[in-house]
Structure 1
């Protein structure tokens, strides 16, 4: 009689402290999302120079920015099912190289039409990289720390955008906008080969796809040296569902939760983008100087890093739906309050800091909520679709902001109206928590290591 040991990969990861190998995966995730943030923010840095050199209008620049956002949405929506079919690593590496290549192409644009096309193609890669990287990292993170780890790697986005700002301040005056755009493309193209060498495929994904045991064992031996027996069968808590990832996301147990994730992320990104894009214009109209408007907006964006880390920390300690609901609610109340303190620049900055921390932080926390909700075989699709539909909210915010400005609404009225999408985020999180909490972990759990005679 030969004994075969069955090893639950999820329990193995949950039962061990973070290893050096896991920390490397987290670092690689942080860098990928930082490159993503650098590239997404790059148009804001080159826009003034572009207007001066090419004589383009704000309307034309809006088309360039919208093209990238549309690409982001489509890239996220289509890459998720591919990652659940072909693997997270393949999609991540190809998307990083893809957006790097097209960013380099953008540096050689000769007119605004070429730039619109190149930024759309860049957006396809950018949209695929972020949600799939967060999915892979989530599958290497112990569940007790998963929310904090995911929100920590998403701090790479603001880090990358900040690095882009410093690079722009030095490169553009000396070498022009082409140099900054070129740097934004060269960095990911150079980094892609390192990902090939250093980034592992998700062990959970390989188990769900019934990959050869030797392939899984090689990864887990590097993860936890000396803990993996030679004759072992790797399992997950439940047998993989024999459905495509898309069918799982839209199936009865997951459908309502998916719709609530889409609603909340759509409204959350709508809020963050409309405030980030239009706040400088709004506060200038109530008497602030250009420098004060820029400072207030920077404080609003800067609060996101603090808020993201806090959201992840809180989600690991209390019910994640309750944590995000409270954070979104505070963010919405503070946003509405901004409309009533225009006479005090200090108060405006304080509320901008709190509002930015809450709204940006809660949006980052949604990635952790999505990772908790879906099973391994549909996690990339669920996360990517949430990102793709959320990006539609970012696109809509550009038109909604312009419409509100055209209506000549008062400062107070604008911020009161923004309380509506904020309220919808709270309602959506609460509804998901009540009616679709965490289906992925409700399946029977397999023992950690069981010996069965053959």
Structure 2
């Protein structure tokens, strides 16, 4: 009886949701770390007498670490396993968060922010591949999309801590500890998680994979109060490809995967450019175009409130429709909303309403692009592929604030959103042209479809 067929027939129940929750909490703490530092920076500047250049370096330290962490997580996760990377990444992040509370100067803060970024970047890159390898072709979209909802929850927690705790005397140190200590509990929980059975099979560890699936079957049966599991489907599940021998990240450009990497890299770059560009700059842009400060603050609040709507929409539709089509659609809607935002009257409530539409469209993309990037590569290099796509996205996120600042200075508010619209349209076009179809397929069937044009003898040699 095929191990993968047994895994694919399992109904969703408490054990799988426990895996989802343990992975999603990592995204919550990642978002918390990204946002909370913005509340801390003015206090760090005042306490340590830092100049604007030093504050800028501190603000950019974690994203730089995240780029490196995402690459390392992918390569190491494919070689040594998903679970190990998840534990080490979370340990780095936890240590850096708590260490920040004991900072005594610029160099120390910069160092712990880079280390924390390494952990956060590795965490972000490895969780989606890990969770996707427990999901079935029937429900993988909403299962992995559910992880992204935790990112939005992390933003809310950061706003609460940043508003209520950080302004207190020594509050930024307290907030750093509060961000780090709960991660210790999550680390203890993750120690009990199983390794991915798909990764075990890709390494030839059939007995270990069988043990993981057997235990999961037992737990699902218990969660269903002893109800019989569905029968194993008679159709054979495509076997996972054999592990690649090279550690080179260039593996994702070989064996029929070049088109896939074009789609995931450019799609991720454009998405995170739009995400960080819009949510970082919009509060300031409201003020720059003459919106009253009180109204601007209210508008900015509603832009962030709209975020969970997008994630919930993504969860609701990601298995009902083809995910490639959904990405193209949401990229297109976001491009149209960007154009509208650039030309709407500045004193109109339409400015807020269109901004909220753009916020929802961008977070819809977020809820689908992460699962998509984790399901379009074969098991042996899935973490590497997802990690490199995450790295491309982080590069877009780093570039966005700088590019938008320069663009606003030269061609104004309308020009900013014209550029963003063009990029969003490009992202949708690239995914439509080069991205594979994935909805309803097992991970192995996705890879088989990608390599179908290759001569049969060469495909069999890789399996």
Report the TM-score when normalising by structure 1.
0.88
Aligned residue number for residue 122 of structure 1:
116
Can you give the 5+ residue segments of structure 1 that lack an aligned partner in the other structure?
A: 1-5, 229-234, 445-454
Aligned residue number for residue 67 of structure 1:
61
* Post-superposition offset of 1:210: 1.8
**Corresponding pairs, count:** 429
2:183 matches 1:181: no
2:231 matches 1:224: no
Residue pair 1:37, 1:157 contacting (<8 A) in 2 also: yes
Residues 251-400 of structure 1: pairs in structure 2 closer than 5 A? 251-400=254-403
Aligned equivalents of 1:329, 1:150: Cα separation in 2: 23
Aligned equivalents of 2:373, 2:150: Cα separation in 1: 19
- Secondary structure in 2 matching 1:253: coil
Aligned equivalents of 1:221, 1:252: Cα separation in 2: 33
Mean alpha-carbon deviation: is it higher for 313-322 or for 64-73? 313-322
* Post-superposition offset of 1:212: 5.1
Match of 1:410 among 409, 412, 415: 412
Alpha-carbon distance change, 302 to 377 in structure 1, aligned in 2, over 3 angstroms: farther
CA deviations on 1:77-112 (whole Å, 9 max, x unpaired) are 111011011110000011001111012222222222
Aligned equivalents of 1:23, 1:118: Cα separation in 2: 33
Alpha-carbon distance change, 34 to 15 in structure 1, aligned in 2, over 3 angstroms: same
Aligned residue number for residue 196 of structure 1:
191
Aligned equivalents of 2:419, 2:438: Cα separation in 1: 29
- Secondary structure in 1 matching 2:2: strand
2:103 matches 1:101: no
2:140 matches 1:137: no
- Secondary structure in 1 matching 2:152: helix
Alpha-carbon distance change, 143 to 332 in structure 1, aligned in 2, over 3 angstroms: same
Residue pair 1:100, 1:185 contacting (<8 A) in 2 also: yes
* Post-superposition offset of 1:169: 2.5
Q: Superposition RMSD on alpha carbons, in Å?
A: 2.4
- Secondary structure in 2 matching 1:140: coil
* Post-superposition offset of 1:299: 2.5
* Post-superposition offset of 1:258: 0.6
Alpha-carbon distance change, 406 to 441 in structure 1, aligned in 2, over 3 angstroms: same
* Post-superposition offset of 1:55: 4.0
Aligned residue number for residue 244 of structure 2:
243
2:74 matches 1:80: yes
Aligned equivalents of 2:77, 2:166: Cα separation in 1: 37
* Post-superposition offset of 1:372: 2.4
Match of 2:14 among 9, 20, 29: 20
Alpha-carbon distance change, 138 to 270 in structure 1, aligned in 2, over 3 angstroms: same
* Post-superposition offset of 1:239: 4.8
CA deviations on 1:100-154 (whole Å, 9 max, x unpaired) are 1012222222222321221111100000012211111111112221111111111
Alpha-carbon distance change, 138 to 291 in structure 1, aligned in 2, over 3 angstroms: farther
Aligned equivalents of 1:71, 1:402: Cα separation in 2: 23
- Secondary structure in 2 matching 1:243: coil
Alpha-carbon distance change, 258 to 72 in structure 1, aligned in 2, over 3 angstroms: same
Can you give the 5+ residue segments of structure 2 that lack an aligned partner in the other structure?
A: 222-227, 230-235, 440-444, 453-463
* Post-superposition offset of 1:33: 1.1
Residue pair 1:76, 1:128 contacting (<8 A) in 2 also: yes
* Post-superposition offset of 1:360: 2.3
- Secondary structure in 2 matching 1:18: coil
Aligned residue number for residue 30 of structure 1:
24
Residue pair 1:76, 1:131 contacting (<8 A) in 2 also: yes
Report the TM-score when normalising by structure 2.
0.86
Match of 1:171 among 157, 165, 176: 165
Aligned residue number for residue 457 of structure 2:
none
Alpha-carbon distance change, 415 to 212 in structure 1, aligned in 2, over 3 angstroms: closer
2:37 matches 1:40: no
* Post-superposition offset of 1:209: 1.3
Aligned residue number for residue 144 of structure 2:
150
Alpha-carbon distance change, 411 to 239 in structure 1, aligned in 2, over 3 angstroms: closer
- Secondary structure in 1 matching 2:242: coil
